[in-house]
A = this chain, B = another copy of it.
Amino acid sequence: MIVRDIQDVPAVVEHGVEGVTARWPIREEDGAPHFAMRVFDVAQGVSTPLHEHWWEHEVYVLAGQGYVEGPEARHELRPGTVVFVPGGEQHHFVNAGAEPLRFICLIPHRWLEGVKREA
């Protein structure tokens, strides 16, 4: 098994947005066969870009306050909020609080694009 403290995993700027960083504590290169774990930090007043992609997100909010916004609604985020964003749905995460917004966000590996359960 692999055991890491999240703070020992390097934070890199994500989406080219100053104030959005991601750590990747579990990647395909670690031998994870299906999906990767990332931990995002979004600075006060900052938003991830409104975007969409084929892959889904499974999110758990660790710290901070804000909201996630899709095409139809805005939902509050606080510690313990869980978000499932299906593939193909527009979304962005916004820090509307006074401290960093930190959340886990898991995504499938790229090879799973188009791989579906047999009927």
Which positions in A face B, CB cutoff 8 Å? 1-7, 9, 25-26, 30-35, 37, 39, 56, 58, 60, 62, 68, 70, 75, 80-87, 89, 91, 104, 106, 108-109, 111-112, 115-118
Contact A109 B104 (CB under 8 A): no
When the two chains form their complex, are residues B68 and A26 in contact, meaning their CB atoms are under 8 A apart?
Answer: no
B34:A80 contact, CB within 8 angstroms:
no
User: Judging by beta carbons under 8 Å apart, are A75 and B1 in contact?
Assistant: yes
Chain B residues in 8 Å Cβ range of A85: 1
Which among B31, B60, B117 is the interface contact of A37 at CB below 8 angstroms?
Answer: B60
Contact B70 A1 (CB under 8 A): yes
Q: A56-B32, A56-B34, A111-B118 are in contact. Are A3 and B104 (CB under 8 A)?
A: no
Query: Measured between C-beta atoms, what is the minimum distance from A28 to chain B in Å?
Result: 9
Closest 9 CB pairs of A and B: A25-B82, A3-B75, A111-B117, A2-B84, A6-B80, A34-B108, A1-B85, A4-B82, A26-B84
Bound CA–CA A30/B57 (angstroms): 13
CA distance A82 to B39 in the complex (A): 11
Task: Name the B residues within 8 Å of A112 (CB-CB).
Answer: 34
